[in-house]
Structure 1
Amino acid sequence: MNQKVLQTLEYDKIKQQISVYLVTPRGRQLLDQLAPSADETVIRTALARTKDALDIWRLKTDFPLPKLSDIRPQLKRLKIGAVLNGKELAAITKVLRAAGRIQRFFAQLTEEEVELQSLDQLAQQLETLPQLTKTLLRSLESDGHVTDDASTKLAAIRRSIRQTELHLRSQLNSLIRGKNAKYLSEPVITIRDERYVIPVKQEYRTRFGGVVHDQSASGQTLFIEPAVVVELNNRLREHQANEREEIQRILRELSAALAPYITEIAENYRLLGEFDFASAKARYAQQLRATEPRISQKNQLYLRQAWHPLLDQQQAVRNDIMLGQDYQTIVITGPNTGGKTITLKTLGLIQLMGQSGLFIPAYEGSRLGIFAEIFADIGDEQSIEQSLSTFSSHMTNIVSILKDSNHQSLVLLDELGAGTDPQEGAALAIAILDALAASGAEVVATTHYPELKAYAFERPATINASMEFNSQTLEPTYRLLVGVPGQSNAFEISQRLGLPLKIVAAARSLTTQQDQDLNQMIQDLVQKRQQAEEEKIQLQQHLDEAAKLHQELSQNFDQFNQQREQMLQQAKTKANELVDQATEKADKIISQLRQLRLTAGQGVKEDQLISAKTKLDQLHQPVTLPHNRILRRAKLAQQLQVGDDVMVKPYEQAGVLLEKTGKHQWEVQLGSLKMRIDEANLEKVKLPTQTGKARSSFKSASQVHVSPTLDLRGERYEAAMTKVDRYLDAALLAGYESVTIVHGKGTGALRSGITKYLQQNRRVKSFKAAPPNAGGSGATIVELK
């Protein structure tokens, strides 16, 4: 497809609207490469993937595809034997995990008998590598941090680091408290050169001995490592070096484990991009309310109530457009600002979208062709640099179009022959349309020349069209009228502007009645043709539904007959078994009666006969079985309802159901918190009632063992921020109204980060620095909601 038509019809704006729904670099790359295709197989495959993704969005409202990074550079480094860092390995892990999720997602769709055409086959091509993925997930966090579970040695080293740091802090705390506080600028512990130090006043630099690592900007404070902790700092640095060495060893092993699967991982990355691209096309179709087009191999176009995709859906006027079946060329005439140009662009852009595998902004049942080329000469492209006038610019484009057009071309011409003498321009326009018709191309052209109305009426496979004009408001309605040539509406406009009725009537009498009747007849025929087309589409839909229903009924009937035969055979077998058992028991009873007659010598007594009759009656089996009411009541008792007491399993907390917020999701009151919990994590319980006391769904602080103070001194920034987030969750669950976070003064970076975090946290009511006797600016008191 030539690039000029893509630019003229603003094809890139469609791609820009799709791009907002993409979450992977590969998906964006596929969108950049998106272009109309003339291969029917390619088009049908792309449309099938769009339909599959749209069906999934309608059924599930979710597509389990996270945001991914471009892992191709990492794979290239793996290929040459490089060792990847934690973040690079985490990015690959995310791809492997996403591949597993997508495969499980489509397996579930298969179990639910969701019919798909293409995407399920793509999902089968994914290589999930479950064991390797499990190892990576156990060893790495999402940000690339190596976890303690990566190796037992790493876990032991980190335990040693924590113990050494605890001992270090204990030693330094004993130095900064009590009488020694007067020798310090402030009683805090900080870090310089990755060693724990204390801020000592300049005049007391020899008081604690040790090593000076830094000084303040004023020179009044020295950051000294006291002699008593030098050995502990050395030990800590040794543990930290061992930690780095062990982490590097783990990264080396993980990189080596991934190396044999570079091809599979690269293929997963490519396939995930395909899913992302199909999902983005589906979400765009959903937002646009677009439909799947049918493909006509004979290039017979029929757009039902189509509108331009870049216009506001609420205001865009919808038009029916037919081309290629009853006529090959449409000539649209009429005044300016009537909507002729936007109609051309709508037709061209929708055709480009369909050949790109996108759903189109038109009603269901619309048909598109497959054109090898679409040409468009639209707009004024005069050029000062090339000394081209409007007419010259149009002619340059038309010369190129005439050279390359054939029976597989769609040609859109705006203001054909404009920019020159009207008589010569009309003659040129007629000659150009004849040449295009001879080439077999399908053509839609707009013009002002009245001569082309007669041309469209006389030439075979050619029809007039115009844009509707409201004679009451003197404004265009932007509706396309196929079969009706454009009119100047001079009579209506003149009458509305006050021209005497006699003059208007006289002018009307000068126009031939035959022309008016012919226009009306053509308009009626076109309307009937469109009505027949609509009825054909509706009948085809009913026929398809009836055929599908007949097929389902046939399958169900066959299945019913098979089940009936099986049940009859089973019933006969069971009946024969019962008859055999009853016959055996009856024979025994008869034998007993005979024995009684022989042994008694006289007649059998009445009570003996009654006893035998009772035994025979007991051989009768009941036909119906009673309903199991106990099981039904037990099942009903376990169903969740608003107001029920439940146990939230992940938190081991009791709560109360407020309302059902989804198919399998409930809003639960946990103390002062309201949370949305999945139904699988809820268990119905009965809590003991307490007279005169409000029911609480939280354990006490002593039960959950949450301290009201979090000490972050000596912690690294990232680890400290993670602990703050987890600690506030625990404090809220423990029911605390306020907590204290001790972060120290030091460089101020940690305090600044915590302040910014608390400002953005919706669970924090307020916060302030602690009183001077409780740490001052080295601690923050947080009020919780």
Structure 2
Amino acid sequence: MNKRGLKTLEFDKVKAKLTGMLTSPGGRQELAALQPATDPQIIQTWLDETKDGADLLRLKGGIPLPELADLTPHMKRLAIDAALNGSELAAVGKVLQTAAATRDFFNQLAEDKLTLRRLDYVAHRIVTLPDLTKRLNTAIEPDGRVSDAASEDLAAIRSRIKSTEDLIRSRMQNYVRGKQAKYLSEPIITMRNDRYVVPVKTEYRSRFGGVVHDESQSGQTLYVEPEDVVDLNNRLRQSQVQERNEEARILQELSAILAPHREEIMANAQVLGHLDFVNAKATYAKQLNASEPLLSQEGQVNLRQAWHPLLDPQTAVANDISLGADYDAIIITGPNTGGKTITLKTLGLTQLMAQSGLFIPAFEDSTVAVFDNVFADIGDEQSIEQSLSTFSSHMDNLITILDQATATSLVLVDEIGAGTDPKEGAALAIAILDAFGAIGTDIVATTHYPELKAYGYDRPRTTNASMEFDAETLQPTYRLLLGIPGRSNALEISQRLGLRSDIIAAARSLTSQNSQDLNAMIGDLVEQRRRVTETAEELDQQLSSATTLHEELVQQFDRFTEQKTHQLDVAKQEANHIVADAKKQSDKIIHHLRQLEVKQGAGVQENELIDAQGRLNALRQDPTLANNKVLARERKKHDFHPGDNVVVKSYGQHGVLNRQTNTHEWEVQLGALKMKVDERDLEKSSAPTVNERQQRTARTVVHSNIGARAQAQLDLRGKRYDAAMAEVDRFIDSALLANLGEVTIVHGKGTGALRQGVTQYLQSNPRVASFGFAPANAGGDGATVVKLR
């Protein structure tokens, strides 16, 4: 990438935003060397790493990396067998410890099944040195001091030093607090030449003996080492020398251990620096609310609501910018201060960020191309030293760009052809645009020349654009309008500001009719676009509302269909029971009529027929669903109100409805527990709730009658048909209540009427699993064995 374009588009300011987010020298080095790439595979790799960093920042708070030091000079010293000091060894130990922790962090991500695009491969390049890391962290404190655990000799020496110092302080206290304290300038113990002394008044020097180590500026105080602590100070000094020697030996030993691992340590530092850089890119993306760009294989740019990254996102106006699909050149016209230049910089800087592996300030699914170079000629760059005017400076830059641009370059030119005679400048601008078009370069240029508005219509793969201007408020909106050239608003603005009408009229008369017609056409296009945009926004809102309503209706219809199916299933089951009961009753009535006919011989009395017909008609059910008692009963089960007793079907628990939380959801009180339940999982119940059962249990004594026990055998011999059938019905019910699995009905052989009646009843009863005659030794066909469900 050419440096002039990077500087013009302020790419360094974007890099500066990341500086404060880095914690390692390796990360800072990567940022300093960051340049937009031109290889799509490299760019995609960088973007994948940024995506991984953004995911880890969102899910885990980022990769945990502390502030690290630059190990390059330390490793160079190890290469010449020099010993590192405590602070330098502590810095190396921190890098090794961070490397191990980072590797563990990514191993845990793998165990958590968190999928990354790229960073897990990067982290696997870390070489952990557990023994060396433990040795360093044990021997060296984080602040660089050698710890007592570094060696047994050092621990013993420091123990002697401590005991000697305690003994010296104990003896010196006799001077500070004893009778001789009055001979001291101050009752304190201090140090001179690394030896313990007391401040003695000059006139009492002879009372202490020992060695004088210092004198106050006034000469009134001598710092004396009393005679009885001289030997102790000598012993202390000797121990301190031994301590320094042992520390130096330990540092030399640790340095020697580190030396063979210089390459692994520096490789780890490099990986940690790279991860630190990825962390910074992810943090900047979050701060900017940026999104991952998609790389176009066809060289197309489609930025959705992109804004300039260096502007306040709360006030920056976002625009849709597209290039390379239907057109390769955009000519932006319109008045000054309307946002043309910032639009050029937004496009260029966004493209540079994407090719540097950074997320871009645009909506998701925005597409960028891969350009081999991004050229920019923006701003007034006249040079006094080189005696170049504004026009000459721009032309010199454009000549360089024309020499270097290719079919895969992006060129951004502000005020093309400006700074000279308008007629010649417009002609030169058209010729330059044609030259870039012949190369195949993508170009976006701004201009005030009306001739270039026609150029945008006439040339293939070229379009006009403008920055929207609100004629009512006389203020720019900074919105980019693709496909519409900009118009001059000088006369309207001047008239609004109060310029005399005669001057405005004179100016209009001096303006060519073609210019007025063009401005009128542009104004009409802008108004049409505004109406179309408003209509589109209104239609989008209506479509969104209709879509939401459609989804709700589909959901409610599915729920209705489910409930309807459930209720019909229940109704069919109930109807089957009714049919079975009706069949059983009709069989009884028919049998009774036959019995009457057999007894009376001549026929059945009319009143008996009428009575039988009435009983048969009573078995008839209303065929309409509207009056169907089964469906009505099922609907009533789902007609819920607060305070109703219900059963939660999925749990089999009884509770009370508290309140309806939304259209199809209720809050249910299950004892001490409150829970939200879908109404499809609820059913009205007359059974007591958990609380009611507990209360009844507490205050009710339950009596049971165990005298009446269900029998496993019923004997019908000698009984009339009707009484026998009624007794069979009661017998089966009792057996079911008693949980009997098998019973026997003795009906005898006789005429076979009882046997046939029993058989028909058992066939119609859904609770009968099977039945058959008893074995020959247990009654044969004179008894029926029944198995119940």
User: TM-score normalized by structure 1?
Assistant: 0.65
| 1:29 aligned onto 2:29 | yes
8 Å CA contact retained: 2:208, 2:227: yes
Matches within 5 A, 1:738-757: none
Deviations 1:659-683 (A, max 9, x none): xxxxxxxxxxxxxxxxxxxxxxxxx
| 1:441 aligned onto 2:426 | no
Instruction: Report what 2:75 is aligned to.
Output: 75
Distance in 2, matches of 1:93 and 1:520, equals 72
Shift of 1:46: 1.0
Shift of the 497–515 alpha-carbon distance from structure 1 to 2, 3 Å rule, reads closer
Instruction: Report what 1:473 is aligned to.
Output: 473
| 1:20 aligned onto 2:23 | no
Matches within 5 A, 1:35-50: 35-50=35-50
Distance in 1, matches of 2:289 and 2:410, equals 26
Deviations 1:356-405 (A, max 9, x none): 11111111111111111111111111111111111111110111111111
* Equivalent position SS for 2:206: coil
Deviations 1:679-709 (A, max 9, x none): xxxxxxxxxxxxxxxxxxxxxxxxxxxxxxx
8 Å CA contact retained: 2:44, 2:357: yes
Instruction: Report what 1:746 is aligned to.
Output: none
Instruction: Report what 1:409 is aligned to.
Output: 409
Shift of 1:204: 1.3
Larger Cα Rg: Structure 1 or Structure 2?
A: 2
Matches within 5 A, 1:347-426: 347-426=347-426
Instruction: Report what 1:310 is aligned to.
Output: 310
Aligned residue identity for 1:486: G
Shift of the 169–522 alpha-carbon distance from structure 1 to 2, 3 Å rule, reads closer
Distance in 1, matches of 2:437 and 2:11, equals 27
Shift of 1:238: 1.1
Distance in 1, matches of 2:364 and 2:406, equals 29
Distance in 2, matches of 1:198 and 1:63, equals 55
Distance in 2, matches of 1:8 and 1:514, equals 34
Shift of the 513–187 alpha-carbon distance from structure 1 to 2, 3 Å rule, reads closer
Distance in 2, matches of 1:283 and 1:243, equals 47
* Equivalent position SS for 2:207: coil
Distance in 2, matches of 1:253 and 1:509, equals 91
Shift of the 230–328 alpha-carbon distance from structure 1 to 2, 3 Å rule, reads same
Distance in 1, matches of 2:366 and 2:524, equals 27
Aligned residue identity for 1:443: I
Instruction: Report what 1:706 is aligned to.
Output: none
Distance in 2, matches of 1:326 and 1:176, equals 95
Distance in 2, matches of 1:66 and 1:326, equals 49
Shift of the 494–216 alpha-carbon distance from structure 1 to 2, 3 Å rule, reads closer
**After TM superposition, which residue ranges in structure 1, 4 or more long, deviate above 4 angstroms?**
497-504, 506-528
Shift of 1:76: 0.8
Distance in 2, matches of 1:388 and 1:80, equals 55
Distance in 2, matches of 1:237 and 1:150, equals 21
8 Å CA contact retained: 1:54, 1:282: yes
Instruction: Report what 1:123 is aligned to.
Output: 123
Runs (5+) with no aligned partner, structure 1: 539-625, 628-785
8 Å CA contact retained: 1:338, 1:477: yes
Instruction: Report what 1:668 is aligned to.
Output: none
Instruction: Report what 1:770 is aligned to.
Output: none
8 Å CA contact retained: 2:324, 2:442: yes
Distance in 1, matches of 2:177 and 2:414, equals 88
Instruction: Report what 1:173 is aligned to.
Output: 173
Distance in 2, matches of 1:406 and 1:339, equals 28
Shift of 1:432: 0.2
8 Å CA contact retained: 1:485, 1:519: no
Shift of the 440–523 alpha-carbon distance from structure 1 to 2, 3 Å rule, reads farther
Aligned residue identity for 1:445: A
Distance in 1, matches of 2:179 and 2:287, equals 72
Shift of 1:62: 4.0
Shift of 1:497: 5.0
Distance in 2, matches of 1:497 and 1:27, equals 55
Shift of the 518–16 alpha-carbon distance from structure 1 to 2, 3 Å rule, reads closer
Distance in 2, matches of 1:74 and 1:524, equals 70
Shift of the 140–522 alpha-carbon distance from structure 1 to 2, 3 Å rule, reads same
* Equivalent position SS for 1:335: coil
Deviations 1:156-177 (A, max 9, x none): 1111111111111111112232
Distance in 2, matches of 1:125 and 1:475, equals 57
Distance in 2, matches of 1:396 and 1:510, equals 37
* Equivalent position SS for 1:463: strand
* Equivalent position SS for 1:444: strand
Distance in 1, matches of 2:210 and 2:497, equals 103
Instruction: Report what 2:251 is aligned to.
Output: 251
Aligned residue identity for 1:149: A
Matches within 5 A, 1:397-546: 397-489=397-489, 492-493=492-493, 496=496
| 1:338 aligned onto 2:355 | no
Distance in 1, matches of 2:61 and 2:38, equals 33
Shift of 1:63: 2.7
User: TM-score normalized by structure 2?
Assistant: 0.65
Instruction: Report what 1:760 is aligned to.
Output: none
8 Å CA contact retained: 1:483, 1:523: no
Distance in 2, matches of 1:127 and 1:226, equals 58
Matches within 5 A, 1:47-196: 47-196=47-196
Aligned residue identity for 1:435: A
Distance in 2, matches of 1:420 and 1:30, equals 44
* Equivalent position SS for 2:267: helix
Shift of 1:503: 7.1
Distance in 1, matches of 2:446 and 2:372, equals 23
Shift of 1:48: 1.1
Distance in 2, matches of 1:514 and 1:24, equals 59
8 Å CA contact retained: 2:330, 2:445: yes
Could you tell which deviates more after superposition, 168-177 or 48-57?
A: 168-177
Shift of the 174–437 alpha-carbon distance from structure 1 to 2, 3 Å rule, reads same
Shift of 1:450: 0.2
Distance in 1, matches of 2:359 and 2:150, equals 48
Shift of 1:216: 1.0
Shift of the 261–509 alpha-carbon distance from structure 1 to 2, 3 Å rule, reads closer
Deviations 1:139-189 (A, max 9, x none): 111011111111111111111111111111111112232221111111111
Shift of the 514–346 alpha-carbon distance from structure 1 to 2, 3 Å rule, reads closer
Distance in 1, matches of 2:408 and 2:69, equals 41
Deviations 1:459-484 (A, max 9, x none): 00000000000010011111111100
* Equivalent position SS for 1:392: helix
Shift of the 71–517 alpha-carbon distance from structure 1 to 2, 3 Å rule, reads same
Shift of 1:523: 9.4
Deviations 1:602-652 (A, max 9, x none): xxxxxxxxxxxxxxxxxxxxxxxx99xxxxxxxxxxxxxxxxxxxxxxxxx
* Equivalent position SS for 2:446: strand
Instruction: Report what 2:604 is aligned to.
Output: none
Matches within 5 A, 1:622-771: none
Deviations 1:311-368 (A, max 9, x none): 1111101010000000010000111111111111111111111111111111111111
Distance in 2, matches of 1:514 and 1:45, equals 49
Could you tell which deviates more after superposition, 382-391 or 177-186?
A: 177-186
Shift of 1:122: 1.1
Distance in 2, matches of 1:188 and 1:497, equals 85
8 Å CA contact retained: 1:484, 1:519: no
Shift of 1:493: 3.5
Distance in 2, matches of 1:518 and 1:326, equals 22
Shift of the 303–104 alpha-carbon distance from structure 1 to 2, 3 Å rule, reads same
Deviations 1:187-210 (A, max 9, x none): 111111111111111111121111
8 Å CA contact retained: 2:467, 2:480: yes
* Equivalent position SS for 1:206: helix
Instruction: Report what 1:222 is aligned to.
Output: 222
Instruction: Report what 2:210 is aligned to.
Output: 210
Aligned residue pairs: how many? 538
Shift of the 515–384 alpha-carbon distance from structure 1 to 2, 3 Å rule, reads closer
